[in-house]
Structures are given as C-alpha cells and as structure tokens.
Structure 1
Amino acid sequence: MWLMSRLPLTLQWRVGKLIGELAYRLIPRRRHITEVNIRLCFPELSAEEQQKLVRKAFHSNGIGIMEIGLAWFRDPKVYLPVTTVHGLEHVDAALERGNGILLLGGHYSTLDLGGSLVTEFIKADVMQRDHNNPLMNAIMTRARERRYGVALDSKNLRGLLKQLKQNRIVWYATDQDYGRKGIVFAPFFGVPAGSITATSRIAERSGCAVVPFSHFRRENQPGYDIYFHPPLENFPSGNDMADATLVNHTIEQEIRHHPDQYLWMHRRFKTRPSKDDPDLYRKDPH
C-alpha cells in the first residue's frame, strides 16, 4: 500500500478499478450482499441497471482501497489542488454555539482519504472501530492520529462527550447495522433498518450541533469534493424514531448523488424488525 500510494492518482484509480472488478468476480458472497442492497434500495431501476450499479460499486470501492494507502502513507496536502470544500461556513457558524460539532458522516468509499483531506480545513477528532488485525489497527490508528486530534474508540461515549464539551469537532457515523441494542427501525431507502438512537442521546447531553458531512471523488477527472451542510434542525426532537428517520434520510440524500461510492457490501438490513422475519441475505436454495 505504501508503494502503490506513490503512483499518479489516475493510475491508482485504474488499478483500484481492476481490484474492484476482481472482487466482483471472485467474492460471490459480497457480490450477493451488494445485489440484495441495491435491489432493495433502488427498486425503480431495471434489473440491468441494478447490476450495472452493483459492478460500479465494486469498482468504486476498489479505488477506495487504493485511497486508504493515500490516507495512511501520504501527506493530504499533495491532493489539495484537486480538492474543493463546500459549506465550510456551516462549520464556522456551528462552532460559535460553543457546544461542539458531531460530524454526521457515512461509510462512503472515500472514507479514509476524505477524512484525511478534511483535516486540512478543520481541526477534528474521529471515532473508529478497531481493526481485528493488530498490525492493520496500529497503522490505521497511527495514521488517523497524525491527521485528527484524537482517535476515539467507537464505544468511548464518555471521551466523545468530553471532546464536545471542549467545543471540538468529532467525526461520527451511524449508518451500519450494530445489532438490536439501542435501536429503532427507521426507514433507509424505504426499508426498515436498525438505526442507533445514540446520536440523539449525544446531542441531548452535549447540546452539540449535528452537521451532515460527505466526500466523493469526481466522476470525470481526478479530484475530490467535500461537503458540509447546515446542522440538523429540531434535533434531538425527543422522538427517537423521528430523529433516526431524519439521520437516515440525510445520509440517503448524500448517497443518491453518487450511489456507487457507498459501502453496499455491508449487510445494512441484517437485523430485522422481528426475529421471525426472514434473512434478506439468505440465498434461496431453489
């Protein structure tokens, strides 16, 4: 990854696309998960269009693997000439409130590089789930601590609240399936999805602003766009379902701009509203 990060960006994208194509062909389990997610979330597309989106998602996430190397082993300043940030004024205005900012992110394929680039424009901390591989985790954490102020464990809510109390910005993502604990089933692309309520609790206890944030690679030329949006209004509302629905809708709207650049390989709908509901990812034996 260190060596590949030294290649020109256009060549890295080509190699990443090849990695994605190989994964599409050689990892049928992840392809099946992606196909199920795309079918559920984009029913308006024809079967052919859905399959094209599945393949393109693998290509985008293959490029994302290359971009992890850029985030971990290169100085993000190298890519500032091809990076544009939009809506930075929303961050400045939210900081003036003095209660910190929860950056509402998502698992886009530009995850690590987008986060690395954003630290060139703002001072932020990050919440992360430790990698299962100790070596990978050490490299990932070292790289993130160089870019961010603090890399917090995803379960360290006390540490998160401490950072917000100091009027810090913390990157935070809620868009994966974390099991049955502390969730409601709010719609995500119209499908009931286990959605954590911790975001509401954090905002309630800290008084922080919740600022939607996304990052995408450009379609037709090497480069990146980073977007900050106005803080969520009337959040928290006191209604967990309403809050989770708003969060999901906000992330969904960002995904729709570049649907292939999302991590569709994750079983987002693994946890079902009833334990008796069928597994959406189980293959029909017939």
Structure 2
Amino acid sequence: MNNNQEIHAKFSNKLLHPRYWLTWFGVGVFYVLVLLPYPIIYQLGKCLGLIAKKCMSKRREVARQNLQLCFPDLSSNELEKLLHDNFISTGLAIFETGMAWFWSDKRLKKHARIMGDHYITEVQQTGQGVLLIGIHFLTLELGARILGMSHPGVGVYRPNDNPVLDYIQLKGRLKSNKYMLNRYNTKGMIRALKNGELVWYAPDHDYGRKNSVFAPFFAVDKAATTVGTSILVRLGKPAIIPFTPKREQKGQYLVTVSPPMVNFPLDDEIAAATFMNKAIEQEILTAREQYMWLHRRFKTRPLGEKPLYSKKTQKH
C-alpha cells in the first residue's frame, strides 16, 4: 500500500482465500452479536472486560503502572477500583467498535447526542481546516462515527496486517469519513487541512523517540510526545478543536466538541507538546476510567533514564 495516497475500502477476491475463512467466521459472529439489543451488548462487554482483567496479566500490570504514575495520590483501594472500571470499559469498547462499524445511522442516533459541534461548522464556513483532536478514550471509534454522521472528515489510521480485518476496518470507518490516510502521510494531512477538511488526529500516545519531544503528562514530567501536532498546525494552519466521546448511563453516548484552542505555541515544540498534554489531561479527568490506560504511554524514556515499567511489561 502506498502510504501517500488516499485510502478507500476496496474488496478483492483474494480476501476469499481459505486462509481467511476463520477470520470471516469471527467477523460474522461479531456482527451478529453487535446487532443484539443494547442491554445484552452491555452485559457481554462487561463480562469480556472482567475476563480480560483476569487473563491479560501483562496488560493489567501496564494499566496499573500507568495509573500509579499519573495519579500517585490515589489510595490502593481507589487505584484498584479505577483499574476494575477501566477493564470493564475496555470490554465494552470492543462491542462499541462493532456498533460504530455495523450499526445504521438510525439506530445509532437513538443512543447518541452531540454538544458543541457548531464550533466545527463555524470554522468550516470560513474555509479553514479543522484539526480534530481525538483523545484515546475507549469510546473513540464510536465517538468518531457519531460525530462523522454530521461532520464527515479525513481519517488517519494504521493499516491492519490481516487484509480482511483491514477491509472491515476501512469499510466501517468510511461510514463517517470521506477517505482515510496512513498515519505516516503527513503531507496528505497538511494538504487536506489546507483544503478546508476536517482531519482526525490523536497525539496522546507514545509513538517512539523519532519526531517526539519530552513533556509533562500528569505526574510524569518527561513523557514522549509527538511533534506532529506542531507540524500540522504550522503548515496546515487549521483550527485546533478537541472532542471527547463518553459513555453515559442507560446506553447513551455524549460527544462533546470544545471551542477552538487558542495561543498554541507555534515556535517551540516542547511548549507546544506541554500545551497539548495539558489540554488532554483536562479531557481525561472528565472520565478517566474510560481512557485507554492499557497502552504503554511511557515506554520511551530520555537517553540514560531508567524504564518506568517493570521488567515484566517493558517489552509487552
């Protein structure tokens, strides 16, 4: 796949090769499950999360270490409660991804509401592009579909190694996007922003040492943070608008779009990373049990500094 092209979902007969039959079977079972009534989906997701907590010992330890690093003032009981709730949320996220990819607009609208999307409309009416900051909440996939029903944009993604899963992922995400771009296609993102498009972008993971600086993130004073935001803002000249998708009670999902960010430091990459991390922190605190704590957010350390994770989880 050419990393510099617009990506659309294209079915190929090669996807029907016997080596992929088991994958298709799994997709079919998953499809049937996510079409069940929401209360059943909720219970299935909750059970899956609790099973994952019990069986995924390394990921459980990663999440626990992340929470300890970010919130050192939590008591042992508070931390374990947050960890427990986070795994339930993780299990639900699997089914919410299916809801995002397979539910109809009509069904999804019954479970969703949006606040603040007029900020996007107002910016786009001027012809300016929008860099939509999609923080890695576990509901991110579903939130993007909800918002994309009224504000389709340009998605940024990492291709799946399994071509069947990659096709299903693309087909699902294109329900709320005009087209997709490989996450390494910076030129494509800049071009889309200059053309007034809305581009989804998630700068809150550890993407490695290359093109990163170290900036504070919660109680960790040196977290590897991408400089991609600075590059896109400096060259694409978009409005920067965060959005947060959260799971509410009774099967409702709220997508909150914030006002455009102001005073973004254009000339200092560390200041820009610190600025962005602070904004991300504020969003996470609104529903921290729904954030993706299973990711090794602090795996990259400044040269010469000791790892923050235990040996058991450093290479997971």
> What TM-score, normalized to structure 2?
0.86
Secondary structure of the 1:221 match is helix
Q: Determine if contact 1:105/1:251 at 8 Å carries over to the other structure.
A: no
> Which residue of structure 2 lines up, in the alignment, with residue 213 of structure 1?
243
AA at the equivalent of 2:192 = Q
Shift, 1:72, TM fit: 1.5
Out of 166, 175, 181, which is 1:146 matched to? 175
| Structure 2: distance between partners of 1:126 and 1:20 | 27
> Could you tell me how far 1:81 is from its partner in structure 2?
2.4
Q: Residue deviations 1:140-163, cap 9 Å, x none?
A: 012112321011110111111121
Amino acid at match of 1:281: Y
Contact 1:186 1:195 in 2 (8 A): yes
**1:77 and 1:170 mapped to 2: Cα distance?**
25
* Residue in structure 1 matched with residue 233 of structure 2 by the alignment: 203
Give the aligned CA root-mean-square deviation in angstroms. 1.5
Instruction: Find the partner of 2:190 among 161, 164, 168.
Output: 161
Q: Distance in 1 between matches of 2:296 and 2:105?
A: 31
Counterpart of 1:125 in 2: which secondary structure? strand
Query: Which residue does 1:26 correspond to in 2?
Result: 55
Which deviations, in whole Å up to 9, do the C-alpha atoms of 1:146-193 show, x marking residues without a partner?
321011110111111121122110111011111111111111112121
CA shift at 1:93, angstroms?
A: 2.2
Q: Distance in 2 between matches of 1:41 and 1:159?
A: 34
Single out whichever of 114-123 and 24-33 deviates more from structure 2: 114-123
Q: Please report how far the alpha carbon of residue 131 of structure 1 lies from its aligned counterpart in structure 2 after TM superposition.
A: 1.9
Return the alpha-carbon distance in structure 1 between the equivalents of residues 46 and 32 of structure 2: 17
Shift of 1:52: 1.1
Correspondence for 2:224 among 194, 200, 206: 194
1:1-286 aligned at under 5 Å gives the runs 1-191=30-220, 192-218=222-248, 220-274=249-303, 276-283=304-311
1:131 and 1:257 map into 2 onto residues whose CA distance is: 31
- Structure 1: which amino acid aligns with 2:229? T
> CA–CA distance in 1 between the matches of 2:102 and 2:228?
33
Please identify, of 108-117 and 72-81, the stretch whose mean Cα deviation from structure 2 is larger.
72-81
Asked whether the equivalents of residues 204 and 236 of structure 1 are also in contact (C-alpha less than 8 Å), the reply is no
Aligned residue for 1:151, secondary structure, equals strand
Q: Match for 2:310: what amino acid?
A: R
Question: In structure 2, how many angstroms separate the alpha carbons of the residues matched to 1:227 and 1:147?
Answer: 17
Flag structure 2 segments of 5+ consecutive residues without an equivalent: 1-29
Contact 2:234-2:266 within 8 A present in 1 as well: no
SS in 2 for 1:267: coil
Task: Tell me the residue number matched to 2:15.
Answer: none
Q: Deviations over 1:80-123 (max 9, x none)?
A: 12312111121122223422000011111112111111112212
Contact 1:152–1:160 (CA<8 Å) still a contact in 2? yes
SS of 2:294's partner is coil
SS at match of 2:178: coil
Query: Bigger CA drift: 200-209 or 87-96?
Result: 87-96
**What is the CA–CA distance in structure 2 between the aligned matches of 1:55 and 1:277, rounded to whole Å?**
31
Instruction: Give the superposition deviation at 1:246.
Output: 1.2
C-alpha contact (below 8 Å) 2:71/2:219 kept by paired residues: no
The whole-number CA distance in structure 1 between the counterparts of 2:272 and 2:125 is 24
Task: Give the TM-score, by structure 1 length.
Answer: 0.95
Deviations 1:228-283 (A, max 9, x none): 11111122431111111111111111111111111100000000122x22222224
**CA distance in structure 2 between the partners assigned to 1:221 and 1:135 by the alignment:** 33
Q: How far has the Cα of 1:199 moved from its partner?
A: 0.7
Kindly, what percent of the aligned residue pairs are identical? 36
Task: Give the Cα separation in 2 of the matches to 1:9 and 1:226.
Answer: 18
Unaligned runs of 5+ in 1: none
The 8 Å contact of residues 99 and 206 in structure 1, kept in 2 or not, is answered as no
- Code of the aligned partner of 1:223: Q
